[in-house]
Structure 1
Amino acid sequence: MEPIDLPAELWRLILSHLRLPELGRCSAVCRAWRQLVLSLDRTRWRQLCLGVLQHRPPSWPNRPAAEPPSWRDACKQHYLASKTWTRNMQDPESSTCLSLFRRRKGRRRLCVGTGGDFSSLRAALAAAGPYDRLVLLPGVHEEQSEVLLKMPVELVGQGGLGDVVLRARVDQHGPTARLCNLVLLPPHSSSLLYKVIMLRNDIHHCKASGIFLRLSAGGLIADNSIHSNGEAGVDIRKGANPLVLCNKIHSGLRSGIVVVGNGKGIIRSNQIYGNKEAGIYILYNGNPAVSGNHIFQGLAAGIAVNKNRRGHITGNVICENQWGGVDIRHGGNPILRSNLISCGYSDGVVVGERGKGLIEGNAIYGNKGCGVWMMSSSLPHLINNQISHNSIYGVAVFCCKDNAGDYPPGQGGIESFQEDREGSGVENDPDSEEEHPAAQCPISVALVELNSISHNGAAGLHVKSSEALNIFANMIHANSDGGVSVLQSSQLTCIANNSISCNSRAGVLVEAECQVELRGNGVYENGSHGIVSKGEGIITENDIIDNHQCGLQLLQAAHMKVTKNRIQSFRDYGIALFDEAKGLVQENLIFQGRSKKSILRPISNAEDCVIQNNVLLSFKKRFDTECMLTSPSARPHIEGGALGSCTVAGGQRVSSVSTRVDEGCHKHGSVFCTVL
């Protein structure tokens, strides 16, 4: 059949379903068929070129939206480069589809250096053709002016690593190039390396770092495979500020990326996995922007922020790492926002000794340790996170000496960073005035606010601290132990305006000698008592409704002021006072449920336990109680924790988790408390 037998538009539609070899056969039939195949440049050729993920348009990543003059030519360059570079052949393998691409002369091998074909790299490039191999003989090759790679060529050093040094500024204009076995340095005439452009290289098995940037180096590191190196995959320091984009950085013997010593940079859309130490390690004045990366299956922390450094860490997927998903300590003070931190073999986020930072809007779930393990003395702010389905506590707050600052043998000591220690204080950071909540006002109290903490394997929020802590407006729901457990609190723990519901044990547990203020909380439908207190403080203006045992129980030497609460239990006492409990129980509205027990059980032996001006009401039906919570309305009004619903956001019924986790968090320390 001839092309004229059908309209050209119909032929183009038919041919758009063919693969590259089939298009080659069609183009070999006759000139008319060849012209028809070549006319598919904006349709089928574009699909073929972009159908392989590593094949980018020639203007990527500087102008990713710009299309090449010819998609067929771009496809040709990708095809020839794949055959040439990956198979390292003298000539591309012959196939039918080569009928679409003009056959080229055989690849030549040109030697550069003393005793070679050319004395300088510039002279060799002038004589080279596409895909020729330029072999640089051992020694130092220096070019004072910029070397332009206008066509696909291969630059290979002869001998072992370090035998060939190329001192030149290289600017790649061609669609592809290959550099192998070279040590790249700036020319002597340039004191600084201002711009580095490395695209689509395979950088592996280096004895030190795969890429080492310093002396204010900038530029672009994009679409490279960086793996199996002896030190960091990418090392950024001494003011270097590159764009590290869309690389695969994996299987390194240390960290994937290290940012140290005033290093900055934008680290975006990389795959970082399988490294022996932290996927990204920020310390000693490092301050990068880390966004959109996939950091997974590392043998240590996903991201570690240490030694007085910051960083903006946003929108990353951090999962399946052996240690903490994000580890912050020793003055680390990052912004950690909108990340997915999941399925780690330890804690989701660790804020260790002297760690700070804003942890906001993250999804932290499915980790085998705690969702968040932090020290209250570090003064972190944990705001608006989704923390769920972690194996131990949702949030664990401690205040004890963190012994994790010492690195175990072979796990990333700091000796490699000695040169960057001096002068690394915040005052030397040019960006120290950058907007950061911690810099705008002094922080004196650790804060846990507006988080959803649900379906965790132990208590939703576990507190064992000697520092003050504010717990405001959280939804603490359906955890396998209690909602909030305050086991140690010599300073005031303020628990206000939280929705604490459907937890397997008590809604709130306050141990002896702890100081708490419980104000404006809704404590609903928990599997044991609503609130149990052996400590001292204030319980005021809470709704404590429909818990499986007592609404409020005061034990031992509890000394609490209990005022203006609405309390009800269908199965047990509204308020029960035991042992030597003392204080003031006043102006509470107490409902009687279906139980025949008394509404109020004063069995305290303390003489100074005052019970007065409480209103006792008897209602037999559950809806009557709900109707009474109208003035004011049920406290607090938080979506997902409403009275009587016990449902999660997706509308599924919450099922109780019967498995208990032994009390304690690995002797009150993080599951793995080491940074790297």
Structure 2
Amino acid sequence: MEAGGLPLELWRMILAYLHLPDLGRCSLVCRAWYELILSLDSTRWRQLCLGCTKCRHPNWPNQPDVEPESWREAFKQHYLASKTWTKNALDLESSVCFSLFRRRRERRTLSVGPGHEFDSLGSALAMASLYDRIVLFPGVYEEQGEIVLKVPVEIVGHGKLGEVALLASIDQHCSTTRLCNLVFMPAWFSPFMYKTTAGHVQFDNCNFENGHIQVRGPGTCQVKFCTFRNTHVFLQNVPLCVLENCEFVGSENNSVTVEGHPSADKNWAYKYLLGLIKSTPTFLPTEDSDFLMSLDLESRDQAWSPKTCDIVIEGSQSPTSAASSSPKPASKAGSQEAEVGSDGERGAQTPDSSDGGLSPSGEDEDEDQLMYRLSYQVQGPRPVLGGSFLGPPLPGASIQLPSCLVLNSLQQELQKDKEAMALANSVQGCLIRKCLFRDGKGGVFVCSYGRAKMEGNIFRNLTYAVRCIHNSKIVMLRNDIYRCRASGIFLRLEGGGLIAGNNIYHNAEAGVDIRKKSNPLILCNQIHHGLRSGIVVLGNGKGIIRNNQIFSNKEAGIYILYHGNPISWDPVCHPSSSIGRL
């Protein structure tokens, strides 16, 4: 802009009255105008983002009070995501005229509701053409038969979310569909609210209540800013599905089930979803990111006193194991003391339960327990923290460790392990990001060679957060898992994957439970304040447990028993753990 022109503050006030298309045109005038448009981030762009009835706060539902780094970027990402469903429409929407030019067919808008063009959704769909927009005006629409979507359409509720309710069972047979600003409820004749087997479906700003959603591969789905109340999302053999910024409440079973290996057949939407995922900020840490995560506020008020670190090993009563694990008690004070604890003396320190509170079965529960009492300042299987703590670290604070115990950041650990880095960067099956799972039975269930990736989610007040069984693989990065009535993460029947950078605390059972040949990689997690052990490995369970902070759990830091065989373990237990046992 020329010198002597209007002050920038006055320009910002004028531009704040412009609509989105006009802002875009102004940004193309010159570089100075472009930078001026960018400077409206906390004013006009924020107003546009929050004023859109078809989207919610960018950080909903986990951090609705925290502003995004850029309102303009958040609005842009929402706009791009809302257009994914029409990416295959460029050629289909065009028609050949008598001239040499191609003319793009305009989309029609069909209105449904009392006093409008159509009375029901079914009648509007019967007259709809490719990529038409169907607007449902406020009211309750109940369909008496199953609705079959044969042509790509967009179904949008008019007004605020909750004013349009749709009681229907929809079966998608077309290549793509978008549904927005609707409340879904099951019809009287079927619990399934929506099904698709090959096409792509996109849900934006919808509520689902008391029903089921089913997507089968090679079908795909993209779900953003939706609430699921007692609703089960079933994904079978999906090559790629994205659940982002969603809330799952009050599930009577699993909230999300991912079953089967991702289909080798992929529909048209696969590459667009993959590109959209790569264009959004990642949850992988940077070089200068701090590994420590914020602790629960209640835990900061608890004072800890220095204690010794007990190492508890439980094994089978075989001649080999008895000979190899027999302790040699020392006689000098401050040296290693061996004590054999009977079942009566250690009755409260039983192994963690497996499936929702069930004890391990099929194993000899009368096996001897060998307890070594060590001074944490002197010796142990590896050096343990010296000194004392008056409480757990404050949010954002750093723990001063001895030079031999300085923790690597998650980024450093991933750089050392190429396989872990490949897992962290992989996107296959289902991606669940920035979602909230609360007040129900189960969070995510991955089974039968399924693949799922979970980033930045919160799991709270559930029976369990994540269950991975039967040769399935999960990738969990920077999730919060707390107040589960059983263990936070279960792995069974050769389940595996990467569990890194998570904050797991205040759970009734083990933070991570590994059994039956499961072999996960557990890196840089905080596992603390559990009512039982931090990590349990038994029943031929394996795993690589490295560079975790495990502290203040009622029982063991890491409990290895009943043929548990972690490949390598390298935890760091605070000396102030309730019983820092390994």
Q: State TM-score, norm by structure 1.
A: 0.43
Q: State TM-score, norm by structure 2.
A: 0.50
The structure whose Rg is larger is: 1
Higher relative contact order (CA 8 A, sep 6+): 2
Decide which structure has greater helix share: 2
